[in-house]
Amino acid sequence: MDVIGPALAGFSVAFEPANLLYCLLGVTLGMLVGVLPGLGPAATIAVLLPITYTIEPASAIIMLAGIFYGAQYGGTITSVLLRLPGEASTVVTAIDGYQMARNGRAGAALGIAAIGSFIGGTVAILGLTFLAPLVAGAALSFGPPEYTALAVLGILLVTTLGGGSVRASLLAAAIGLLLATVGRDPIVATERFTFGSDELADGIDFVVVAMGLFGIGEILFNLEQHRGTNPKPPPIGRAWPSRQDWRDARAAVGRGSVVGFVLGVLPGGGATMSSLVAYAVEKRRAKDPSRFGKGAIEGVAGPETANNAAATSSFIPLLTLGIPANGTMAIMFGALLLHGITPGPLLIGQHPDVFWGVIDSMYVGNLLLLIMSVPLIGIFVRVLAVRTAILAPLTVLITMIGVYTVRMSVFDMLAVAVFGVLGYLMKKVGLEPGPLVLAFVLGTLLETSFRQSMRIFHGDLAGFAGRPISGVLLGAVVVIVVVAALRRRSHRKTVDNDVLAVPGPTKEP
């Protein structure tokens, strides 16, 4: 398959003045969103979805993608300066980054994070350029059974490999699948769970779910979490790493690029898991592991490189298979659908301008992030002084206006409020909204392809195992379930042994 020609042609889309402007706007918003603890790229993209209706599809996706990978670096600023992760993927960075800041080396930490982010992102874009067409070509042989198995595998990976409790993630995914059944049956068009409501006859709109759970829900939760906090950042110091810093960190940057790219492709991997694994790798390979937690620059370089590489490589399953790898990619999936573009193996042939334009814009976006990272640090530090009590009402107002403009429906505004309360309650009890949104997005695909498969196989479930691709995918599902069960059993046994090993109270003589 010829990749070089179409990839070079994509730069004509990426370098259009309007697309350059949207790319700049996206990465700048992404950095700002990353700086503001709790908001997150998923919530921001969900809030901005209605605004993108009037924008060309390629421009809209370029901007939204810029928000996603730009937020990965923005979260580093608060992690290093305040030990307050702006993003979940920068939690590990706060360990050594904040210690470097306390030692007067905040600038070096932010500088090496910027360099690592640029290198990791660029490596992942190169992998995306050459690997995505191959994956899409192989996916052309997919039929309903293969898509059924792939949807099950995607949901299962996110719930078992993602953060948090597996049971909680499975429960959230089950709620998402249930919500996906509201509306008309995709095969026979009978109404289900509508309770006589005309507004629910066409199903629950994806924008409503996304803006409620990630927008209103996150705002409510973070208002409670950060109530009364107003931390002051330490001085930045020299805003660029020294040659010795680079010599100490370059191997970590290389390893982080590989770790991030590989884990980003896997559903359930993502930026957060990549940063955790990269930190563990660096600590294990270190000659003196005791330096970690006290300001080791490798503890910043490895995770920061990995989370940016993962943010980029997570576009591979989305664009080529139509399977979102995480909650934010589920929002991106919805954004593509709203513009009449169906992610999957046919995307390259049907919308080459969008596919290659978005990929090539990432080269530009990563370069812009590197150029802007150090000069804008001072501005973003000032943004931290704005109280959440001021920002939250403005965000809620923008969210409600945005959802109303989609269908001019007051019902949608009420639904957003309901999902906002649901999102808040889920966060309170430890249920992450990511698996719910992912299952909601994949629910229709899973149901339709499964029922079509049952017609093909005349109701025989063994037909899935008789097809090579679906059989392998379902085999992977079985392996994941068994491994997860064994890990849980091993963990329970370890906990029980630890409890038994605790000595009881002793009598005094």
pLDDT at site 20? 93
Q: How is the chain split into domains, by residue range?
A: 4-500
pLDDT at site 185? 83
What is the greatest pairwise CA distance in the chain?
86
* Cβ proximity of 322 and 445 under 8 Å: yes
pLDDT above 70: percentage of residues in the chain: 82
pLDDT at site 208? 81
Residue 292 to residue 194: CA distance in whole angstroms? 55
Dihedral, CA atoms, 435, 436, 438, 442, nearest 10 degrees?
130
Which of 299, 246, 269 lies closest to 91, judged by CA? 299
pLDDT at site 383? 59
* Cβ proximity of 145 and 464 under 8 Å: yes
DSSP state of 184: E
Instruction: Please name the helix (run of DSSP H) or strand (run of DSSP E) that holds residue 381, with its range, or none.
Output: helix 377-383
DSSP state of 214: I
- The model's pLDDT over 460-505, given as tens digits with 9 standing for 90+, comes to 888 888 888 888 888 888 887 787 777 777 766 665 555 455 455 5
Which of 66, 135, 44, 89 lies closest to 402, judged by CA? 44
- Total Cβ atoms within 10 A of residue 238: 12
pTM, to two decimals: 0.67
Is the alpha carbon torsion for 470, 147, 180, 193 positive or negative?
Answer: negative
Residue 253 to residue 104: CA distance in whole angstroms? 22
- For 422, phi then psi, to 5°, come to -60, -45
Q: Which residues of the chain are modeled with pLDDT < 50?
A: 499, 502, 506-509
- The model's pLDDT over 198-241, given as tens digits with 9 standing for 90+, comes to 888 888 877 788 778 877 887 788 777 766 555 555 555 566 77
